[in-house]
Structures are given as structure tokens and as C-alpha cells.
């Protein structure tokens, strides 16, 4: 079960078993699990490993786009971060023009996106 894998990985990470946490979810294709995996890589400053994954997955999933932007920034790929950030904001704006329900969803995603990106910029 995917959820239990994420919980297990979080517990391993909190216990200081970082490598085990990373390995336990490394090959998942579930976007939420990939997001957690990238977050652990970022937290442990394994930016190049995270970049390798992101660069091989040219269509970033909205669930882990914040982590992708953080990795681009941390590895000095500012133009890639800016390009992805521009696409994310443009997508949110387009979604908002489709109706109030979609706009509310996009707005709530934007809040999470902002929080994540704010962390990336706060060194």
C-alpha cells in the first residue's frame, strides 16, 4: 500500500535512518511518494540525485513541482526554475478563468506552492 510506504519512509527519516527512508520509496511512481522522496533528498542536500530524477522526467507532476523548483535553485539552474515557475503561474491563471470551482482549487494549490517555494528561497 502506497500510504504505508510513505508513513514508513517518514518514520525512518525521523529516526535518522535517511538512507533507508530514501531507498524505501526510491522507485515509486506515485506523485505524492515522489514528492516525499524529493523532499528527503532536498533536506539531506542530495540535490544532484534529485536533479537527475527531475531531468529524466521532463513533464513535472504538479504534486512535486515545488520540489523541482527547489532543486533547480539549489543546483544553480535558475533559468530552469524560472521557466517552471512561469509555467506554474500561467497554468493557475488559465485555470482561474475556467470557473469559480477550478479557480478555488487552483488558488488553494497556489498557497501550498507558495509555501514550498518560499522555503526554497529562505536558504
pLDDT tens string 87-108: 877 666 555 555 444 444 444 4
> For the segment 37-62, what is each residue's pLDDT rounded down to a tens digit?
999 999 999 999 999 999 998 667 88
Largest CA distance in the chain: 46
Tell me the whole-structure pTM to 2 decimals.
0.72
pLDDT at 29 over 60: yes
Report d(CA 110, CA 86) in Å as an integer: 13
DSSP per residue, 68-82: HHHHHHHTT-HHHHH
Residue 111 pLDDT grade (very low, low, confident, very high; cuts 50, 70, 90): very low
User: Is 36 a residue whose pLDDT tops 80?
Assistant: yes
Amino acid at each position: 500500500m502506497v500510504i504505508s510506504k510513505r508513513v514508513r519512509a517518514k518514520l525512518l527519516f525521523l529516526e535518522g535512518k535517511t538512507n533507508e527512508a530514501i531507498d524505501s520509496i526510491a522507485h515509486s511512481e506515485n506523485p505524492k511518494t515522489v514528492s516525499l522522496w524529493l523532499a528527503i533528498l532536498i533536506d539531506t542536500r542530495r540535490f544532484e540525485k534529485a536533479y537527475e530524477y527531475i531531468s529524466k522526467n521532463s513533464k513535472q507532476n504538479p504534486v512535486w513541482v515545488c520540489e523541482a523548483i527547489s532543486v533547480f535553485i539549489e543546483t544553480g539552474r535558475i533559468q530552469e526554475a524560472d521557466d517552471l515557475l512561469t509555467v506554474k503561474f500561467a497554468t493557475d491563471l488559465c485555470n482561474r478563468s475556467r470557473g469559480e470551482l477550478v479557480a478555488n482549487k487552483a488558488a488553494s494549490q497556489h498557497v501550498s506552492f507558495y509555501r514550498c517555494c518560499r522555503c526554497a528561497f529562505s536558504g
